Structure 1
Amino acid sequence: MFILFLLLFGFSVIVFVGFLIGYVFNCFGNVNFLFLSGIFNEFFFNFDNVTLGIVLMLFICFVYVYNYTGHYFSGDFCGVDLNKLIVIFVGVMASLVFTGDFLSTLIFWEYLGVVSYFLIFFYGSYLSLRSSVITLVSSRFGDVCLFFLIGLSINVFGDMGLLCFFIMFFVIFTKSAGFPFISWLLEAMRAPTPVSSLVHSSTLVAAGVWFAMRYDVGFFCRDLNLFVFGGFLLLTIFITGLSCFFFVDLKKMVALSTCNNISWCVFYLLVGDVCLSLFQLLSHGVSKCMLFMLVGDVMSGSVGSQASNCVYSSRLYNNYGIFSLFCVILGLSGAPFIGVYFTKHYMLCTFTNIYSFVYVSLVYVCVFLSYLYSFRLCSVLVNINSSNSIGVRFLFNSWFMVYYWLFINFFVFLFFDEVCLLNGYYSLIIIMFQVVNIFLAYFFYCSSFFVNWSSSLFGSDNLVEQMYNIYYYVTNYIDLFFYRWDNNVLLLFVNLWSLNNSLVRNVLNLTLFSFLFINNGSSMM
């Protein structure tokens, strides 16, 4: 672990120096490495603040997940096979981050979806197949929209601006798991925990935020951004925050917090600050990767149980186990002076005095729900009244997380000037949110209010099931067109002499053949 720490620290210092030089001297740029004929005649290799930040996050998460895989599979060969897929997955994501044009982005975007399909399908079960197909089909919405965006990019300053806006909406929301595309992120929980640590932190969900940063989502129809994008982002935060309060599956609870935090990243970008969104993404990516590994150890110590009322409580480990989990969870919620507190505080400072009272109130409600589900997750992990009394202690080291947050927060302090202060009234509201949510999370732990509607993600899961039913309904009728009538007739006459064959099958075959003959005769008349 000491060598791992030295590698991460050295790489972080290099990236920090590069970030500092690029920010001060503005020496970042792009490289055109391929010329083609036609409209799309350039492939760009971008190297800027966004690229450096996401590569730093990707590298840290990859190193942790690569080592955690051996810990998770206890040296089994399955861990070696999974690490091969993880290396390919991270390589594709890193290549995607460096792209700077729509065409090369589409190529690596497609590869990212294909590799994620095999990662989720790693166990090879029916549920894994179902989850991987749902993830692949959901991501195809964004792939097709990106394909259309390439075709419409030449008319971006004309009448196609509104259409491009809605296309970018689908591209970003399908990858970022925004409402109503939340279900695929929960279905991806069928994958092994190391895959979930990577997919839900720095790869698939981060791809949507990267796309919004790279291609400037605020450029298209600025007046609609706050109304459409902001409305759906706040709706996603509201649904995930409320639904997480009633879920009992630990991995799904952590997955819902991913939707919540990624929506905050896009919202920061929407209000006009790329660096603030980038720092939020970096803090969330590494923190969520660590949280999945810690929760995965809790489930592994409980014989693989994911139900929050059937796990070996973290209080029975030791104080260090509670500290690691609480530090990451509270840091993700924005508790004072750790984690994403500074980015969220800076956003509220600049946001409160600009927009309308109604919109600001909605944002504060979403902040309230973010604290609510975080404290509820803490209460679930330390609850011993409805937990297993016997378990095995698994603990993956997480001490690096605190130093990483110090590094990010120092960077925020260095480059941002707090030009407007949050007044005492709003500061008191945020403090009261935290105090009230501690008691709400404790006393409403067994509440059944809104359970059924919240557990279906406010209709998102019902939408997936309805699409499944439509698919099966259509395929039942399409199969008639692929029915082998000739082969069936031959089998009918060949099997008539055999008394061992089922009489019912022959009668059905004869009926089908007669039905076809009668229909053909009536059509000829």
Structure 2
Amino acid sequence: MIIFEYELMTLNSNIIFMSILFDWMSLLFMSFVLFISSMVIYYSEEYMFGDLNINRFIFLVFLFVMSMMFLIISPNLISILLGWDGLGLVSYCLVIYYQNNKSLNAGMLTALSNRIGDVGILMAVAWMMNYGSWNFIFYLDFMKEDFDMKIISYFVILSALTKSAQIPFSSWLPAAMSAPTPVSSLVHSSTLVTAGVYLMIRFNFCFSPNLMFVMLFISSLTMFMSGLGANFEFDLKKIIALSTLSQLGLMMSILFLGDYNLAFFHLLSHALFKALLFMCAGCMIHNLMNCQDIRYMGSLINFMPLTCTFFNISNFSLCGLPFLAGFYSKDLILEVFSMNYMNMFMYFIFYISIGLTVSYTFRLCYYSLFSVYNFYMLNNLSDQGKIMLKGMSGLILLVIFGGSMLSWMIFPTPYFICLPLSLKMMVIFCIMFGLWVGYEFSNFGYNHDLKSMNLLVISLFFSSMLNMSVLSTYLINYYFLKFSDFYYKNVDLGWLEYFGAQNLYNNITGTSKISQLLFNNSLKVYFILLVIFIMLLVI
């Protein structure tokens, strides 16, 4: 581990310096972010072809990556705030890149949800004043029992919850799909949403056991809810976004179980296959003339074989198919979890979530790759995009071999897992069960069995993430906007207008006209005033 302290300026013996932390974790994560972002920027050259503002787009993506770099290499809360705020601001600019109402709403939801986290970091910065330095890395371990450190850890967890979109801040993640697909690929693999998990990994030494238990409950609930929601969703990008949320819940869960190395391992392997998954989805959307509804797709395997091959491999990796990147981290997490003595609720929710992952993945493949083609008959679908295919080919080898290489690099000694056969087979059983459920779901949607009202309501309830998207927008905004409308009409344009500006103006002009009459130097007026004055004196 190397910590650089670079002196920026000195003023009256006050030294302002920039700290940079290089250890195996930050360097490995940085190399992944830079590799994925380089592939994504190369891919955007063709995906964004014909866009008038493509230079602005590339600059924004570059700023996004640079903010992430700042966050990764900072052992200091102030410089972390710089990267953290940068991510929030640039993500807003990227989500509203296509300028329409839907993008604006999604952008505002994203920015305002992330602001809560930024405030959390600011409050943590204020509490760090008690320690005489903002380099949190020096205080985490031995100040663990300190009250101040507990408060700081609460604020940091609040920030991480908003950035990594855990319950109750989940609704911005699917909404942020309004951004162009290369941005989604970058956001969901290695930047914005992983920033929260990365911060948790850095801070994991200072969490108290009770706090970890509560957070384990929240993150596992997020994992389950997003897996369930993805099974009822029809938007291609939203399904992949919800799968990201599910994986983030898995990372957070294992982190709060106390194994931050495993969380970091899954973070990296997930970054690879999720970036590729989004790139393939972008390729499909690009070819289908910007159509994102999976019900219109189908038989794409016949038209776009290479893209669909990449899509399938990354989907298998997401499901944890043996010896692909996702398997090494996901299977290890589940088996380490089974080695722990945890309650039955957690056990069920972990394994059901794994089953749901396979279920929505199979449903997605069924709709987009194998089912009946439902788009225009006169189509021009093909694997023609050379640049997009090259960008995706750069990632495919790592999606296949990355997991094993990472497990050799990160863990000097392998984990020793000793489980009975029934627990060993539990993962395979859940995957098979998930496949069957996914197949049933696909037919369920196709045969239009949703005629009965109850099923339709349930389907809407789950696809809107347990109504969270409504609660976090309508509930928070509606009453304030209604009150402001009332205030504007009745107070601003009503009472204040009557007693304030306009009426005051009318009164002043009226009295000034009377005064003007008096001050016109008319002799008659003065004589009359004199007579009245004398009469008053006499009376």
Instruction: Work out whether the TM-score is over 0.5.
Output: yes
Please tell me whether the aligned partners of residues 121 and 128 of structure 1 are also in contact (alpha carbons under 8 angstroms): yes
Alignment match, 2:202: 214
Greater C-alpha radius of gyration: 2
Q: Is 1:367–2:346 an aligned residue pair?
A: no
Query: Is the 8 Å Cα contact of residues 276 and 311 (structure 2) preserved in structure 1?
Result: no
**d(CA) in 1 for partners of 2:94 and 2:335?**
41
Matched with 2:483 is: 474
8 Å CA contact 1:303–1:391 kept in 2: the answer is: no
Q: Counterpart of 1:25? A: none
Alpha-carbon distance in structure 1 between the residues aligned to 2:112 and 2:297: 33
CA shift, 1:334, in A, is 1.0
- Gaps spanning 5+ residues in structure 1: where? 1-27, 494-525
Deviation at 1:36, TM superposition (A): 7.7
The structure 1 residue matched to 2:52, chosen from 71, 74, 77, is 77
2:193 is the alignment partner of 1:205: yes
Q: CA deviation at 1:49?
A: 1.8
What residue is the counterpart of 1:284 in the other structure?
270
**Same amino acid, percent of matched pairs:** 26
Structure 2 distance, partners of 1:474, 1:99, is 43
Q: Which residue of 1 aligns with 2:135?
A: none
Q: Distance in 2 between matches of 1:105 and 1:165?
A: 15
Preserved contact between residue 5 and residue 20 of structure 2 (Cα < 8 Å): yes
Kept in 1, the 8 Å contact 2:185–2:275? The answer is yes
- Give the TM-score normalised by structure 1: 0.82
* Residue 409 in structure 1 maps to residue 404 in structure 2: yes
SS in 2 for 1:474: helix
Q: Could you tell me how far apart the structure 1 residues matched to 2:336 and 2:15 are?
A: 39
Select which of 146, 155, 166 maps to 1:167: 155
Question: What per-residue deviation string (whole Å, max 9, x for no partner) do you get for residues 375-432 of structure 1?
Answer: 2222222243363253522553233334213134123045341312343112222112
1:509 matched residue in structure 2: none
SS in 1 for 2:147: coil
RMSD (CA atoms): 2.6
2:535 maps to none
- Matched residue SS, 2:231: coil
How many residues align? The count is: 464
Aligned residue type for 1:465: Y
Does 2:236 match 1:256? no
Q: Deviation string for 1:33-70 (max 9, x for gaps)? A: 24889999764211112211221121122111111212
Query: Given that residues 302 and 310 in structure 1 are in contact (C-alpha distance below 8 angstroms), is that contact kept between their aligned partners in structure 2?
Result: no
Please give the residue correspondences for 1:379-418 in structure 2 after superposition, counting only pairs within 5 Å.
379-385=366-372, 387-388=374-375, 389=377, 390-394=379-383, 396-397=388-389, 398-405=392-399, 406-413=401-408, 415=411, 416-418=413-415
1:33 maps onto 2:6 in alignment? yes
Question: Which stretch of the first structure deviates more once superposed, 278-287 or 375-384?
Answer: 375-384
Match of 1:3 in 2: none
Residue in structure 2 matched with residue 51 of structure 1 by the alignment: 26
Q: What secondary structure is seen at the aligned counterpart in 1 of 2:372?
A: coil
2:225 to 222, 239, 246: 239
Paired position in structure 1 for 2:139: none
| 2-structure distance, mates of 1:436, 1:308 | 23
| Distance in 2 separating the partners of 1:439 and 1:426 | 20
Deviations 1:245-291 (A, max 9, x none): 00001111011011111222222322333332222111211221211
AA aligned to 2:246 is: N
Q: Distance in 2 between matches of 1:461 and 1:326?
A: 30
In structure 2, the residue corresponding to 1:306 is in which secondary structure?
Answer: coil
Give yes or no for contact 1:164–1:220 (8 Å, CA) kept in 2.
no
Q: TM-score, normalised by structure 2?
A: 0.80
1:105 aligns with 2:100: no
Deviation at residue 179 of structure 1 after TM alignment: 1.2
For the residues of structure 2 that align with 1:259 and 1:105, how far apart are their CA atoms? 23
Shift of 1:326: 0.8
SS at match of 1:457: coil
Are residue 452 (structure 1) and residue 451 (structure 2) matched? Answer: no
- Unaligned 5+ runs, structure 2: 132-142, 508-539
For 1:223, give the aligned amino acid: N
| Deviation for aligned residue 1:191 | 1.2
Distance 1:354 1:316 in 2: 46
Amino acid at match of 1:171: S
Distance in 1, Cα, partners of 2:222 & 2:435: 23
Equivalent in 456, 459, 470 of residue 462 of structure 1: 470
1: CA distance between counterparts of 2:370 and 2:502?
Answer: 62
- Taking the aligned partners of 2:426 and 2:469, their CA distance within structure 1 comes to 34
Q: CA deviation at 1:188?
A: 0.8
CA distances 1:173-198 after superposition (whole Å, capped 9, x unpaired): 10001111111111111111111111
Letter paired with 1:33:
Y
Report which stretch shifted further, 313-322 or 109-118: 313-322
Say if 1:298 and 1:428 are closer, same or farther in 2 by CA, change over 3 A: same
Question: In the alignment, is the contact (CA less than 8 A) between 1:43 and 1:100 conserved in 2?
Answer: no
My pick for the range that moved more, 293-302 or 131-140, is 293-302
Greater Cα offset, 483-492 or 89-98? 483-492
Q: How big is the shift at 1:228?
A: 1.0
AA aligned to 1:189 is M
- Residues 243 and 39 (structure 1 numbering): CA distance in 2 closer, same or farther, change over 3 Å? farther
Q: Which residue is 1:434 aligned to?
A: 431
